[in-house]
Structure 1
Amino acid sequence: MAKLVLAAVIAYLLWYGWQRGRAFRTLPPERRRALIWRGLSIGVPVIALALVLTGRVHWLTAALAALLPVARGLFSAGLRALPLLRLWRRAGGRGFAPRFRTAALEIRVDLGSGAIDGQVLQGRHAGRRLSSLDRTELDALLAELPADDRRSRWLLNAYIARRFQGSAETPPTVDRPDEEEAWRILGLQPGADRDEILRAHKRLMQRLHPDRGGNDYLAAKVNAARDLLLGNR
């Protein structure tokens, strides 16, 4: 009985292939590939089952063979998802760290963890992380910054206020950033599209807006970076 089932299945597949053969040749290549895989996804499990019933193969071997079309579908879905994963990593995944840079300081915001840290670029503490300095050292660094370097003073003051839950000085007027700085502020690679810019801006504002524990200066810098990059499109 099992042999008759196997013979009937093979005969049906041959008949079906013959019936569809002429129309198949006229289809576009993508459509033909899709039909081939569809036929395999049906035919392979049926043939595998028939072989098990006739005792010609072990059931485990047949099961693995039947899963091949499914594995191919999962692999294709994974390839299609790669661009989305790259976009997630660029625009909002773990490690996304926009930068605010002046001559004396560089501040980074890790949106994955909400942490803010930075590095001293000038002076006797050059090369040290802000997080490695205690309050006394930070206050001394603030005093060393030139009075006319208002951007560096405000960035450091904003960091101190965030870290020690204090109040910041009145922020200076935000200068319009150049394009390179704007990309750096938003944490994007040059050439990112409009949607990526808007997503990066929204995610930054969720961390840096004054109503959410941020401060006016950093929020204003983010807005200025967004406006510049969108205005250049």
Structure 2
Amino acid sequence: MGLLLGVAILVLFLVFGKTFAGANPKKLAKLGKSAGGAALLVVAAWLTLTGRWEAGLPLGAIGLGLLGYGSAWETFAARHFGQRPGMARRATSWIEVAVDPASGRIRGRFLAGPWAGTDLDRLSLGDLKTARDRLSGDAESVALLEAYLDGRAPRWRENVDDDPARRHRGAPGTGGMSEEEAYQTLGLRPGATEEEIRAAHRSLMKRVHPDLGGSAGLATRLNLAKERLLGRG
């Protein structure tokens, strides 16, 4: 990562070299700050694309700050995530996480499902692994949850396939969805009425439907869950 950052900064200096030579100190300082912010965003984008959310998010937040967007970012994060200024935030329909740029610590909570409103720190590793399996149809939510798990328990991936609960659940994202998984997908307790099932499905679909910018995979799982519980699956 250090090498990539160095190359990005070097390229920026080469491109703006002539400008540096003729600029006054104030303009030079401003240009240098912008160049540094742009370089950090390049590195943050690369880290994010390679799955290293825990490092990419804070670097991206710092880069935005250098480019003059720090105040807007902090206000947005504080308003929507309830974290102090400086926290980098990302959310899906199911989960939201925030990263403290100073410490690199990741916090988060579930927005939907059986643990809706629950902080990730309050759940056991077993519960979090179960949630990861059940979110397998939503790649972005899984990526955020895995980033949190990597920070909390770096060795959590060991023996994941030996989880008994995982072996007894139906295959996610297929017509073999189990009744238990269907209830969990819709955020309902076993025994919910037909009216409750339809209401939960309708509410979630309003947030995740592809036509509204949501996830096609998650919308498919919601439809499968409704059909399974209404006796059509």
TM-score (norm 2): 0.31
**Greater radius of gyration (CA):** 1
TM-score (norm 1): 0.31
